[in-house]
Amino acid sequence: MVKQTYPTGVENHGGTLRIWFIYKGKRVRESLGVVDTPKNRRVAGELRASVCFAIKTGRFDYAEQFPDSPNLDKFGVSKKEITVGALAAKWLDLKRMEITANAMSRYTSIARNVVPMLGERKLASAITPETVLLLRKELLTGYQILKVGHKTPVKGRSVPTVNAYMAMMSGMFRFAADSGYIETNPFSGVAPLRKAKPQPDPLTREEFYRLIEACPSQQTRNFWSLAVYTGMRHGELCALAWEDIDLKAGTLKVRRNHTLMKEFTLPKTQAGTDRVIHLIQPALDILKNQAAMTRLGKQYQVEVKLREYGRTTVHPCTFVFNPSLTAVNRLAGHHYAVGSVNQIWEAAMRRAGLRYRKAYQSRHTYACWSLAAGANPNFIASQMGHANAQMVYQVYGSWMAENNTEQVAMLNQKLSDYAPPMPHAIGSD
């Protein structure tokens, strides 16, 4: 019987061939998965020799040569493959612990729209900067998708929306690069699209009166009046309780927010949490009117999600605005939802015959009216829940410039008494 001979470093393992070599001072074995034949032994010997030469010359890439090797983790080398769909699912699941349910809903929606455009089954490593630029173009200008044998046109999205989509996807692919699924983030070199700075579009006083008159009930008139006189976010107004208000002191404390996901959370920003709003007289009058309707209502124990993942607290709440008072059926809850108040705003705008504006303009109206009245931007920022006046200057800077004439008139009136008397010119009468 002829004894089988093997090239150096080649051996039989259960009927198939494997090679061994020294890497970083350790003997390692790699199965080749081919049957033991004389021809395969020769090829295995040549492979082993090329591996040894690459190691000796410093050009050996373990992950490239043996991408499925269990030894990769041993040497801290990893080249994992993952599809775009699997990457999105993994990233979103891990992201859930650090963002609010409302933000999670937005992220999930973006992934649901963008992942099919990239190719759900496509490897993440196959996404190139060119792929990313084509994605951005399709998001902006619109594209065609194949559905049940027909091409369905999809409208393009706005520049701010496209930038938001790209930013979220960049975060997802940054995670892929940091985790070793891809070498570099293909989104990293793509700059945001330039966008026109949106200008505040506040209601005039005449428009405000028409809007309030067009509201279907006294309660909704009170809701939108308070929104304009305090600058509160609509979710904060939906979550407002009488336990947060001191009518004698003329103050209102913002302690919680109600989201589109129908959850109670802390206010949007850290600066906005437990902020104290100093109520002007019209706001106090509105709350006194509303108190006759809801102040003695039922108190509810409301679960409020804190910023730390998984932690909640309970707030006792007698809600200031209770839709069940005016509901024509028994389906209304004991507080308004953000989506429903937006619908009330839109319906009132139509009934009033006003040019359409988003409901968020109630907040802009408060800021613009306050600035026109001469209020300090720092005070306005604190009332609106901003950390400082920078946001006020950024958003309302151009609008404030349009009121320079009024500002000069105000300074003339208030500082004229400080001016020293000017001497008469020599020779004058």
CATH number at residue 271: 1.10.443.10
- Position 195 in a domain: no
Task: State the pLDDT at residue 79.
Answer: 58
Rg, C-alpha atoms of the chain? 33
Q: What average pLDDT score do residues 145-152 get?
A: 48
The DSSP annotation for 48-59 comes to: HHHHHHHHHHT-
The DSSP annotation for 232-268 comes to: --HHHHHT-BGGGEETTTTEEEE--EE-TTS-EES-S
Instruction: Give residue-wise pLDDT tens across range 82-113.
Output: 899 999 999 999 998 888 888 899 999 999 99
Tell me how far CA of residue 120 lies from CA of 60, 79, 89, 106, in angstroms.
Answer: 33, 20, 11, 19
- Position 198 in a domain: no
Choosing from 95, 157, 253, 268, the catalytic residue is: 268
Same domain, 228 and 375: yes
Task: State the pLDDT at residue 420.
Answer: 66
Same domain, 213 and 344: yes
Same domain, 168 and 316: no
Same domain, 53 and 121: no
Predicted confidence (pLDDT) at residue 150 exceeds the cutoff of 50: no
* Catalytic status, residue 268: yes
* Catalytic status, residue 27: no
Same domain, 275 and 171: no
Domain boundary (74, 97, 122) is at: 74
Q: What average pLDDT score do residues 358-362 get?
A: 93
* Catalytic status, residue 233: yes
- Position 256 in a domain: yes
Q: What average pLDDT score do residues 50-67 get?
A: 86
Amino acid identity of residue 361, one-letter, is Q
Task: State the pLDDT at residue 410.
Answer: 65
Same domain, 321 and 365: yes
Close Cβ partners of 232 (under 8 Å, ≥ 6 residues apart): 226, 240, 254, 277, 363
* Catalytic status, residue 386: yes
Task: State the pLDDT at residue 411.
Answer: 67
Same domain, 46 and 137: no
Same domain, 130 and 66: no
- Sort strands 16-23 and 26-35 into parallel, antiparallel or unpaired: antiparallel
Read off the tokens for 223.
Answer: 């809701």
Task: State the pLDDT at residue 406.
Answer: 65
Instruction: Give residue-wise pLDDT tens across range 381-405.
Output: 999 988 888 888 888 766 555 566 6
Closest CA to 23 of 54, 1, 2: 54
In this prediction, what percent of the chain has a pLDDT beyond 90?
A: 55
Choosing from 165, 181, 229, 396, the catalytic residue is: 396
- Position 197 in a domain: no
Read off the tokens for 371.
Answer: 């600035």
Instruction: Give residue-wise pLDDT tens across range 198-212.
Output: 788 899 999 999 999
Close Cβ partners of 351 (under 8 Å, ≥ 6 residues apart): 214
Domain boundary (141, 163, 178) is at: 178
Task: State the pLDDT at residue 196.
Answer: 76
Same domain, 260 and 166: no
Contact 335/239 with Cβ under 8 angstroms?
yes
**Entry pTM:** 0.68
Predicted confidence (pLDDT) at residue 319 exceeds the cutoff of 90: yes
CA triple 209-210-214, angle to 5 deg = 115
Instruction: Please give the backbone phi and psi of residue 11, each rounded to the nearest 5 degrees, phi first.
Output: -150, 160
Read off the tokens for 353.
Answer: 């015959």
Domain encompassing residue 165: 84-178
- Position 419 in a domain: no
What residues does 47 pair with on adjacent strands?
none
Most confident of 289-298, 397-406, 420-429: 289-298
* Catalytic status, residue 48: no
Task: State the pLDDT at residue 147.
Answer: 43
Task: State the pLDDT at residue 144.
Answer: 53
Read off the tokens for 409.
Answer: 């008139």
Confidence band (pLDDT; 50, 70, 90) for 31? very high
Contact 406/413 with Cβ under 8 angstroms?
no
Confidence band (pLDDT; 50, 70, 90) for 155? confident
Amino acid identity of residue 422, one-letter, is M
Confidence band (pLDDT; 50, 70, 90) for 146? very low
Contact 371/359 with Cβ under 8 angstroms?
no
As a whole number of Å, the end-to-end CA separation of the chain is 139
- Position 4 in a domain: no
Same domain, 265 and 371: yes
Task: State the pLDDT at residue 326.
Answer: 74
Contact 318/220 with Cβ under 8 angstroms?
no
Predicted confidence (pLDDT) at residue 149 exceeds the cutoff of 50: no
Task: State the pLDDT at residue 12.
Answer: 93
Choosing from 18, 234, 364, 386, the catalytic residue is: 386
Contact 83/124 with Cβ under 8 angstroms?
yes
The DSSP annotation for 24-68 comes to: TTEEEEEEEEEE--HHHHHHHHHHHHHHHHHHHHT---HHHH-TT
Choosing from 18, 363, 364, 366, the catalytic residue is: 363
Instruction: Give residue-wise pLDDT tens across range 68-79.
Output: 788 877 776 655
- Position 422 in a domain: no
- Position 2 in a domain: no
Q: What average pLDDT score do residues 13-39 get?
A: 92
Note the Cα 370 to chain centre separation in Å: 28
Choosing from 233, 234, 258, 357, the catalytic residue is: 233
Same domain, 145 and 242: no
User: At 128, is the secondary structure helix, strand, or coil?
Assistant: coil
Total tally of structural domains belonging to the chain = 3
Same domain, 394 and 376: yes
Task: State the pLDDT at residue 376.
Answer: 86
In angstroms, the CA 45 to CA 5 distance is 11
Instruction: Give residue-wise pLDDT tens across range 242-265.
Output: 999 999 999 999 999 998 888 999
Predicted confidence (pLDDT) at residue 222 exceeds the cutoff of 70: yes
